[in-house]
Structure 1
Amino acid sequence: MSVLCIENLTVAFRHDEGWREVVKGVSFDIHAGETLAIVGESGSGKSVTSMAIMRLLNARHARISGKVLLNGVDLLGLSEAAMRDIRGNAVAMIFQEPMTSLNPSFTIGHQIAEALITHRKITKRAAREETIRLLEKVRIPNAAKRFDDYPHHFSGGMRQRVMIAMALALRPRLLIADEPTTALDVTIQGQILDLIKTLQEEEGTAVLFITHDMGVVAEVADRTLVMYQGEKVESGTTAEIFSAPAQAYTRRLIATVPQLGAMRGIDGPRKFADDATTTYTLPSASAPPLLSVKNLSTRFDIREGLLSRKTGAVHAVENISFVLLPGETLSLVGESGCGKSTTGRSLTRLTAATSGQIEFDGYDVLNLSASELRKLRCAMQMIFQDPFASLNPRMSVEEALIEPYLQHRLGSKAQAIQKAAALMERVGLSAAMMKRYPHEFSGGQRQRICIARALMLDPKMIIADESVSALDVTVKAQIINLLLDLQQSLGLSYLFISHDMAVVERVSHRVAVMLLGEIVEIGPRAAIFDNPQHDYTRKLLASVPVPDPARRQLKRQIEVSELKSPIRPLDYVPETRRYREVSAGHWVME
């Protein structure tokens, strides 16, 4: 008997002209211990399908028909009280955007423990102990101390780990995972995939896995269902889908998957589906750097007690140095919490650096006045990791796009709207969507809006913090191609922050690997990927999912050891690091 059986599921949303169907007669089932992956482009109906199963759609604005049978019981016919008992207990869900599903008013420990107390009827003390164990299982550093931290104290990847711990807490019969590893670095992604496989073996858990990462699909899914514009266009075993896809759309999905090693022997970045004979202008090594960073450190004070005495500090970024040339892409890679995003925020002074020097286009960034910094930020734009958190929910897309243009007085409102419309089209969205609000878009569409917003001020440099992590493979390819086109035509420089090593290989000129706030290896892309020297770099590369269904039963057996803490006592003196040059421009920490 199937754990979950979906029969002719149809979902329609209320629209100005009436009801519009976004999921159209989809049917499938999942057996105990089986994983079904649903794949498709952003907006294809994947997440709406999962929300309909959980009965999380607003009944006033959404109409659901068909059958959703969980162990033979139709969930669509249950009362809301009965559904509350099922959610989290029999069915758990890992949501795509952790910031929208974690309550900012409660600590993360409280939110996980609440589910344990409600469904298991255990004491607060026992719930706390179990919560700490779950946080350790998903490798949250200092889990016991971080129990009382709030969601905003965590990075995007760390918040996703919290969500995974919450979903696994009650060992559900059905786990719905909506892009569960999107915000995670490759090492923790490998561990989470192993964790889900282990849960299936121990508990017979059925998994509905929604993702755009075809490498992950190949490794975890027994069967795959392909959706396009709300309809099921193809389904079958994962091996069949990958070896002999019947539909052109499925073939296109698989063809646009970035694969590690695809850039071997190619100088500089390369667009998807590009002619190998196309020549790209490489940055001149003799040109003066656009950005120069020397001995940059960023630390966050830890204060405890009634008098909030300083007891230590989080050494988020520790004594790093690098340069970025005009027209160059330098990628920062490393696990969540290693200091990548803090580095990007420190460069723009969104986060105050503790010490060091930052020179950008001739400006001493750390010593600029407020008015000078305002001008600088025209030339140095940032695409943030979480598109939902960086878009004002009360502003329409049009207002969000034209606001920076008008604030910097670059032209009239009419010119701003015209430019915003052109950029919307360029990032693959319709200009007619500009009157909508952020909640009316999928996660991938919101990220495209953020990219368009960053381009409104014609910057010289863009700090792209996980800018394509939320995008499906076809849109990811389009955005990467767009970024590379802009780099060629405008001479843009990119600081590309990512955990997707296959994407990093495709877009980078140089790569810097970060661990616990320090750069442990830096050099030309080919040197880092073809001849990694540091043990941590090798570990990152070994963790990358490969789009090969033959690896489906493979477990990487990555050691689930706790990440070392970046928290240091007041008297801590950083160790002096030594680097050796392996080859021209390729440096590794000894």
Structure 2
Amino acid sequence: MNEPILSVQNLTTAFRTSEGWREVVRDISFDIHAGETLAVVGESGSGKSVTALSAMRLLPKDKARSTGRILLEGRDLLTLPEHQMRAVRGGRIGMIFQEPMTSLNPVFTIGNQLAEALVLHRDMSWKQAEAEALRLMERVRIPSAGTRLHEYPHKFSGGMRQRVMIAMALACKPRLLIADEPTTALDVTIQAEILSLIAELQREENMAVLFITHDMGVVAEVADRTVVMYRGDMIETGDTPQLFAAPGQPYTRALLASIPRLGAMAGSVTPRRFPQVDAATGVATEGAQLPPPPSATQPVVKVSNLSIRFDLPQGRVHAVEDVSFDLHPGETLALVGESGCGKSTTGRAIMRLNTPSAGEILVGGQNVAKARPAELRALRRSAQMIFQDPFASLNPRISVGAAILEPILTHGLLPKPAARERVSQLLEQVGLSPDMATRFPHEFSGGQRQRISIARALALDPQFIVADEAVSALDVSVKAQVSNLLMDLQAQRGLAYLFISHDMSVVERISHRVAVMYFGEIVEIGPRAAIFGNAQHPYTRRLIAAVPVPDPAQRGTRPAPPAVEPRSPIRPLDYVPPKRRYREITPGHFVMDEAAA
């Protein structure tokens, strides 16, 4: 066999702590050859991203040290001078980072950041680089790429920012692509297109890919070989089909048993807890079905004819258009759709973080848009939000314990000693250790930060939670644990959830009803069983068909995702949206009349 593109040999990485050096990755070894995809899987905090950052030499020199060898085409990256390493980063190695908002510079336009990499590594003029940047943005299917090229990162949704990061990583045709959770923020249809794009570019350039992910369905679909990590150790590795068919370690069996599988809820009327998996034995116990929500209750949230529009110099973005739904105590309504379709904008409007252009939002019978400051403060007590980007929603200057403690003290729920005890309980509830309360957000992995955000949202015992991609950043075992926690709290307290997600397998298990959004409009809404068992709208059917199957034996059997032309949400200022009509298929199951769409 030819020399590997990347050879990691006995890599050990340690971080400096107050007690001395602490090893977080121990004795890791693997090779990746040209044209091969190696997946690294494991729970949040297992050392997956640290391994990738060690290879890129992006860990702080004064607080981290790596030993062993990391050979890129025979050159040891750990011994390269910094000026040579700068040429490697973005040139020979491209990297898609886990959190796109913190990886993009907020003071430069998207086009400027893409063009900079091309000027530095491909010796292009700025004019040539801008033209190539536009082509890359179109290739990762960003609508209206010509106008969005000159916009700043904060104007892009999480999924759109992730697409920009993918374009940037692939811009210089690297020999090795390190993809750290590259499709976490993307809905399944775009995920399928991006995975297809990466595979296409891999074939064209004979590129090696190191794919870090917690989505075992994606692993089954793309990985030739898989490495399983657990608490800093590499516990199992092998060809992907063999590892899925006959996992050797209990933890690997537990990972595979935790995978939510589409279709598992057939015949179940209400949500069902995820299987309880023993990591020591790998034995899974099927989760119990939850009781139905209380009947004949007043809605805790009522959204009527909600529209949200943003004016731009070149037109108007119709982000949300004429959206209506009710949400009752003890009920989970899942809001699904592709990135940029208006899901998060709708959730933020309910919390009055976005201002509606038209329509009405009632929370607990109170008009959110007209609430005075004191009323809005009370609303924050009963309604909370788990944000999509956990790093951006946590204050980097205060410890995570202080972040969870703050709302408890602000609302005067408990005295300080009891509030501190409550913080410890919340951290344990979401699978973290109470002694982590003194750490700061940058000291946690992406999945751990998401758990902290969930703990903070639960601190005030709210009646209603907007969960914006609440479990998307979590590995499968923790995703099951946190989803079960959310369902248990719902059963105990009658919590209502607006569950914004692109993970259709989780949506099928956790939701009572599902609303499908497409370009700012709800195109189909109904009971979970009706949506998954009798989808009527073409976009809903496309969403369900795009869910990756966690079975390597089925790789290549599904048709390639259809090439759908990206539509632009930007309309002329005088555009008047048509009035939509809906057909009722079965009781409570409505689909937009395509003739009126």
Query: Normalising by the residue count of structure 2, what TM-score does the alignment of the two structures yield?
Result: 0.96
Does the residue aligned with 2:247 lie in a helix, a strand or coil? coil
What residue number does 1:98 align with?
Answer: 100
Q: Residues 72, 252 of structure 1: CA spacing in aligned structure 2 closer, same or farther, 3 A cutoff?
A: same
Contact between 1:140 and 1:562, CA under 8 Å: does it hold in 2?
no
- 8 Å Cα contact 2:220-2:551 kept in structure 1: yes
Shift of 1:576: 0.6
Contact 2:16 2:22 in 1 (8 A): yes
What is the aligned counterpart of 2:252 among 250, 253, 265?
250
Q: May I ask how many residue pairs the two structures share in their alignment?
A: 583
Distance 1:224 1:404 in 2: 42
Is the 8 Å Cα contact of residues 328 and 509 (structure 1) preserved in structure 2?
yes
2:63 aligns with one of 37, 40, 61: 61
In the alignment, structure 1 residue 387 sits paired with structure 2 residue 397: no
CA apart distance, 1:276: 6.3
* Residue aligned with 2:324, SS: strand
Kindly indicate whether residue 415 of structure 2 is the aligned counterpart of residue 407 of structure 1: no
Q: In the alignment, what sits opposite 2:336?
A: 333
Tell me which residue corresponds to 1:421: 424
Counterpart of 1:559, as a letter, is: P
Match of 2:303 among 288, 293, 304: 293
Which of 17, 22, 37 pairs up with 2:24?
Answer: 22
What is the rounded CA distance, in whole Å, between the counterparts of 1:72 and 1:454 in structure 2?
49
Change (3 A) 1:111 1:277: closer
Give 1:363's aligned residue: 366
For 1:394 and 1:276, locate their aligned partners in 2 and report how far apart those are by CA, in whole Å.
Answer: 42
Q: Quick check: 2:272–2:287 contact (8 Å CA) kept in 1?
A: no
Residues 476-498 of structure 1, C-alpha deviations (whole Å, 9 max, x = no match): 00000000100011110000000
Residues in 1 aligned to 2:483 and 2:211: alpha-carbon distance in whole angstroms: 25
Q: Trace 1:420-459 onto structure 2 (pairs within 5 A).
A: 420-459=423-462
- SS of the residue 1:576 aligns to: coil
In the other structure, the counterpart of 2:267 is: 265
Asked if residue 78 in structure 1 is aligned to residue 80 in structure 2, the reply is: yes
What is the match of residue 307 of structure 1?
Answer: none
- The residue that corresponds to 1:235 in the other structure is 237
Amino acid in the other structure paired with 2:5: V
1:562 deviates by 3.8
Q: CA RMSD in A?
A: 1.2
- Once the two structures are superposed, the pairs formed by residues 110-149 of structure 1 within 5 Å of their partners are 110-149=112-151
Question: C-alpha displacement at 1:362, in angstroms?
Answer: 1.8
8 Å Cα contact 2:134-2:145 kept in structure 1:
yes
Q: What is the CA deviation profile of residues 44-81 of structure 1, one whole-angstrom value per residue up to 9, with x for unaligned ones?
A: 11000000001111111111110101111111110000
Deviation (angstroms), 1:559: 3.1
Offset at 1:279?
5.1
Aligned to 2:279: none
Structure 1 counterpart SS, 2:167: helix
Partners of 1:556 and 1:80 in 2: how far apart? Answer: 45
- Residue deviations 1:140-197 (CA, integer Å, cap 9, x gap): 1100100111110111111000000000101111000000000111011001110111
Secondary structure in 1 matching 2:462: coil
- Rate the CA distance shift 1:256–1:360 in 2: closer, same or farther, 3 A: same
Alignment of 1:298-337 (within 5 A): 298-302=308-312, 304=313, 312-337=315-340
Secondary structure of the residue aligned to 1:133 is helix
Q: What is the Cα deviation at residue 556 of structure 1?
A: 4.1
d(CA) in 2 for partners of 1:416, 1:103: 37
Q: Is the 8 A contact 1:41 1:475 kept in 2?
A: yes
Aligned AA (2:311): D
Consecutive unaligned residues in structure 1, runs of 5 or more: 305-310
CA distance in 1, matches of 2:295, 2:516: 21
CA distance in 2, matches of 1:129, 1:509: 47
Cα deviation, residue 124, structure 1: 1.2
Q: Percent identity?
A: 63
- SS of 1:287's partner is coil
Residues 492, 394 of structure 1: alpha-carbon distance in 2 compared, 3 angstrom cutoff: same
Q: Partners in 2 of 1:181 and 1:24 — Cα distance?
A: 27
1:47 maps to 2:53? no
Residues in 2 aligned to 1:583 and 1:528: alpha-carbon distance in whole angstroms: 11
Contact 2:273/2:290, CA 8 A, preserved across alignment: no
- Letter in structure 1 aligned against 2:411: H
Distance verdict in 2 for CA 1:208–1:160, change over 3 Å: same
User: For the residues of structure 2 that align with 1:29 and 1:220, how far apart are their CA atoms?
Assistant: 17
* 1:488 equivalent in alignment to 2:505: no
Name structure 2 gaps, 5 residues minimum: 277-284
